[in-house]
Amino acid sequence: MRRSPDRWLLPMPFRSLLLVPADNEAKLAKVPAAGAGAVVLDLASVSEGQKTAARENTYQFLLRQEHQLTNKKTFVRWVRINPIGSPHWKEDLNAALAGKPDGIVLPRAMGPQQVQMLAADIYELEQRNSLQHNSVRIIPQVGDAPEAALLIPQFAHDPHPRIIGLGWDSQALAAASHMASADNDAIRAVRAQLLLTAKARGLMAIESPSGMVKRADALEATIQRARMNGFDAMMARHPAQVEVIERIFAPTEEERVAARTVLSGFELHPEAQVVTVDGRSVDRFGLDRAKRLLDND
């Protein structure tokens, strides 16, 4: 059974997610000016000796930016914790939830059961930290290790309602698979599997971050390809990538017109499950996509 539309709509949409090492105070200080739709404080990439300090940085950053988030709606705040099964993920989660983030990115997500485990802990921490129930969402990174990539199809079966999208990391997958390059048939197959699974369930498809920064033409081509392939957003590793992602993923005027036409069709037939718009059939999932596109404009 497909997800119901109300579970699919994002409370705060975004096009770019800027990944920032949580132990790097200089980079954290530059986040508000980066222009990203979402910032992802990364605890998973932090070295063993810096994890305690990184958790404190994460907590303090979330507290400082809460006022800016609620009043100016500049960006949404996510935290990337260590993978489930590591000795650090619960401490990461405790520190993150104390700061009341918008969501948790789970790397190396080994199927829906791990998401259910994470969601159960989030539920308890929401209550402990006086957070609204189900306010903290989840993005599983499902294609950043070969064993995780093989489990992507499982997310096509009634994914957890906290999940708003599926992400991945092609460079991490290539490294974990001992590949010489991230440009090969296996990587392309994982990208296609993630994209189709997300689309089948009405989830955001979030493209892997790119390592390119200085080669502007190559970076733009990579982001254009992600947009044309149907990805809804893209992760960035460097602030310089954010502007390009935001520009390329912004709705075109043609897309805005088409979305408004879909909304008008359903306004004329509010009880309909399917309407015909410009000679094509559009269901309520198409209506939800149109709403999100206009909300994200």
pLDDT tens, residue by residue, 10-30: 444 799 999 999 999 999 998
Tell me which of 250, 266, 284 is where a domain ends: 250
User: Same structural domain for residues 191 and 68?
Assistant: yes
Residue 107 covered by a domain? yes
> What is the CATH classification number for the domain harbouring 127?
3.20.20.60
Q: pTM value?
A: 0.86
User: Same structural domain for residues 265 and 236?
Assistant: no
Range name among 5-14, 59-68, 76-85, 146-155 with the lowest pLDDT average: 5-14
169 neighbors 143 (Cβ within 8 angstroms): yes
User: Same structural domain for residues 242 and 150?
Assistant: yes
Instruction: Please spell the DSSP secondary structure of 141-188, one letter per residue.
Output: B-SSSHHHHTTGGGGGSS--TTB-EEB--HHHHHHHTT-S-S-SHHHH
Query: Would you place residue 234 in the very low, low, confident or very high pLDDT band (cuts 50, 70, 90)?
Result: very high
User: Same structural domain for residues 243 and 288?
Assistant: no
User: Same structural domain for residues 70 and 165?
Assistant: yes
212: Cβ contacts below 8 Å, ≥ 6 apart: 218, 219, 222, 241
pLDDT tens track for 160-177: 999 999 999 999 999 999
Report the share of the chain in percent with pLDDT over 90: 65
Residue 5 covered by a domain? no
217: Cβ contacts below 8 Å, ≥ 6 apart: none
CA proximity to 140, closest of 99, 100, 105, 94: 105
Residue 3 covered by a domain? no
Residue 138 covered by a domain? yes
Structural domain that includes position 260: 251-297
Q: What total number of domains does the chain contain?
A: 2
Q: Which two tokens stand for residue 280?
A: 């094509």
User: Same structural domain for residues 184 and 107?
Assistant: yes
